Amino acid sequence: MKTTIVNCHALMGENATPAPEPVDIEIDGRVISEIRPHGAREPAGTVIDGRDLLVAAGLINGHHHSHEGFYKGRKDNLPLELWMNYVRPLKPIELTPRDIYLRTMIGAIEAVRSGTTTICDDTNQSPRIRPDHVEQVFQAYEDIGIRANVGITLFDRPFFRAVPFVDEEFPKELLAELDGTRMYSGAELLDFVKGLARERHPSTNRVAYMAAPSAPQRCTEAFLLDVRRMADEFDLPLMIHVQETRMQVVTGQLFYGSTMIEYLDRIGFMKPKTAFIHGIWLNPREIEILARTGVSIQHNPPSNLKVGSGLAPVRALLKAGVNVSMGTDGCGSIEGTDMQNALYLTALLQKLRGDHTEWVGAEEAFYAATMGGARALGREKELGAVEAGRIADVVGYRLDRIPFAPLNNALNQLVYSASRAEVDLVMVDGEVIEQDGKLTRIDEAAIIEEIREAHRRIQPQLAASEADVERISPHYERIYRRCQCMDIAADTYPARFSH
């Protein structure tokens, strides 16, 4: 089956270079077969009129948490360590498989509508894994048509014990209660996800499994190495949260006698096709380690702003040769999966660092959101660019809208001016999943109404769960403030304005 987008403007190749004249893009099955000057020959197959479209590579959202979907808008003005407990209930919230499907759709719909063709979802299933719930996460992405890499959050250390000073700051009775919560063993978790790796490998599935150990401080060393071996055995991409906050740097010093990156390098965890999510609080030696080992940094500026984690040293990373990809994070820490926001913020915020000759601009931001994401997944030859021979994951933006009028520089205007309102065409695997601004594979209005109905039913449970979390909040607050007073390496790149 062939499709041809005719008479379109296009951002071509890995560097998204504007085509000098309108082109016709021919797609054969799931692959771009030819890009030629408009009118060079008769278009083949289904014809899409691209006269008013700017066609570009689809954005790759390298980090999202679908399990936070129902928490959208519930909290503000809390740093990460004080916020994150609210979206990881102390006791399970009772959800049906359909609730999980709808919860996943909250992020999936906005992702597609903001020009995203690939999303990486680190979905938390603790304290118990229900296979019927996991299946509904995969099914939602199958139904909407997006490319998705789904990781089941893996950790074998109780979540509340992933910070220092717990035994000193928590009451003994509360500690005994929390420690009494049954967790899956590392062996049980690995047995389950190895089944997903066999059934849903990224090489043969549009909606596939990826390895997702939560963070070093939430995993024993043995478990981290077991997950690393599994990812190597199955040739899987891997994502893990590393050094998002200053407190995590302090935690590394206290837990491992070094920063977490130095620890992960020491145990042989760091390899290509591995993304360190956030990577904000870094020093030059750690950046050298990242460059040497081929690990990507996964940059999430909307979330990092919302929870006050800070500004990653993107220019220093790029200068050292570290691959930088991009994402949004979950709907709890930031209110959506709009990759246009991440693109915009990346290009703007990095101008707060250094001399203007080293600012990060539109070209590098767009590269991170496309080719950077593809490279982080080990798919830099298949995804991330409008180029013959690559998979047809492309987006068409309306040029007859005010962000592109007048049109001086298509890439600059896409990054700094366009929004998801200009996204008019989305293709994944050569299939149109949004056209004329409408999702083609699902009834969006019906699903949104169902999401609203489910939330009305679930909301009392959310409120009760948040009230339960208040029992541990004062103890976390003391730990957080205690860590803020501890020194870290003096040459750590400043990630926040000083108080």
pLDDT in tens, 158-212: 989 999 999 999 999 999 999 998 888 899 999 999 999 999 999 999 999 999 9
Nearest to 237 by CA among 212, 219, 259, 220: 212
pLDDT at 128: 78
Chain position carrying tokens 């990346």: 346
Residue 386 near residue 57 (C-beta atoms within 8 A):
yes
CA–CA separation, 95 and 213 (whole Å) = 24
Residue 270 near residue 301 (C-beta atoms within 8 A):
no
pLDDT at 266: 98
pLDDT at 91: 86
pLDDT > 80? residue 332: no
- CA angle 372/329/103 to nearest 5° reads 125
pLDDT > 90? residue 129: no
Nearest to 131 by CA among 185, 182, 189: 189
pLDDT > 60? residue 255: yes
Strands laid side by side in the 147-152 sheet = 59-64, 116-123, 147-152, 207-209
CA–CA separation, 434 and 429 (whole Å) = 13
pLDDT in tens, 108-128: 999 999 999 999 999 998 777
Mean pLDDT confidence for 58-65: 98
- CA angle 296/301/303 to nearest 5° reads 110
- Pairing type for strands 394-398 and 324-326 reads unpaired
Mean pLDDT confidence for 460-483: 96
Mean pLDDT confidence for 347-367: 96
**Mean pLDDT, the chain, whole residue set:** 96
Rounded to the nearest angstrom, the gap between the alpha carbon of residue 489 and the centroid of all alpha carbons in its chain is 28
pLDDT in tens, 423-453: 999 999 999 999 999 999 999 999 999 999 9
pLDDT > 90? residue 262: yes
Nearest to 340 by CA among 428, 409, 414: 414
Confidence of residue 416 (pLDDT cuts 50, 70, 90): very high
- Pairing type for strands 438-439 and 53-57 reads unpaired
pLDDT at 92: 84
pLDDT > 60? residue 302: yes
Chain position carrying tokens 């890499």: 149
Instruction: Kindly list the distances between the CA atom of residue 147 and the CA atoms of 32, 109, 429, in Å, as whole numbers in the listed order.
Output: 16, 12, 8
pLDDT > 60? residue 499: no
What b/e sequence results for 74-105 when a residue is b if at least 16 CB atoms lie within 10 Å of its CB, and e otherwise?
A: bbeebbbbbbbbbbbbbeeeebebebbbbbbb
pLDDT at 184: 84
Least confident range from 102-106, 176-180, 374-378, 403-407: namely 176-180
Residue percentage of the chain with pLDDT more than 90: 94
pLDDT at 183: 84
CA–CA separation, 326 and 359 (whole Å) = 17
pLDDT at 478: 98
